């Protein structure tokens, strides 16, 4: 497993019905040696409250495992939500120009979850 794992988020994996499965996939990635997880928000233009709480739960999970969580490709609406709620202080958000280029090796899509390892 690679040290850097890019996870392309979708609204489906953040919803309650699929979030438990998504959370288990995050745990599996960490146990497999993922040290830096990057959540790619390119498919997310807005966040409902429940989806925002799911993202916060991911942060807690990653922090408990001593991994680093990065957020990339955040839309302006999501960025404003993070700023208004003060969440930008607990997330490491990459400016678009600083996002690392990743190889496109698709690793085991899971219920709408795509991971790309470099």
Contact status, residue 2 vs residue 117, Cβ threshold 8 Å: yes
The answer to whether residues 35 and 65 touch, using CB atoms and an 8 Å cutoff, is no
Of all residues in the chain, the percent with pLDDT exceeding 70 is 79
User: Which band of pLDDT confidence, cut at 50, 70 and 90, is reported for residue 96?
Assistant: low
pLDDT over 60 (residue 10): yes
Q: What is the CATH number of the domain that holds 64?
A: 3.30.750.24
2 pLDDT tier (thresholds 50, 70, 90): low
Cα angle, residue 59 at apex, residues 55 and 62 outer, rounded to 5°: 135
* Higher-pLDDT residue of 116, 68: 68
> What is the domain count for the chain?
1
Q: Tell me which residue range forms the domain holding 95.
A: 4-117
């Amino acid at each position: 497993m690679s040290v850097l794992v890019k996870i392309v988020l979708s609204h489906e994996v953040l919803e309650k019905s699929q979030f438990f499965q998504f959370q288990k996939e995050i745990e599996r990635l960490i146990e497999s040696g993922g040290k830096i997880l990057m959540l790619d928000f390119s498919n997310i233009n807005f966040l409902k409250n429940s989806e925002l709480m799911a993202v916060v739960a991911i942060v807690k999970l990653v922090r408990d495992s001593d991994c680093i969580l990065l957020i990339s490709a955040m839309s302006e609406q999501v960025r404003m939500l993070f700023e208004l709620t003060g969440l930008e202080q607990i997330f490491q958000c990459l400016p678009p120009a600083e996002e690392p280029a990743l190889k496109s090796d698709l690793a085991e899509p899971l219920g709408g979850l795509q991971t790309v390892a470099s």
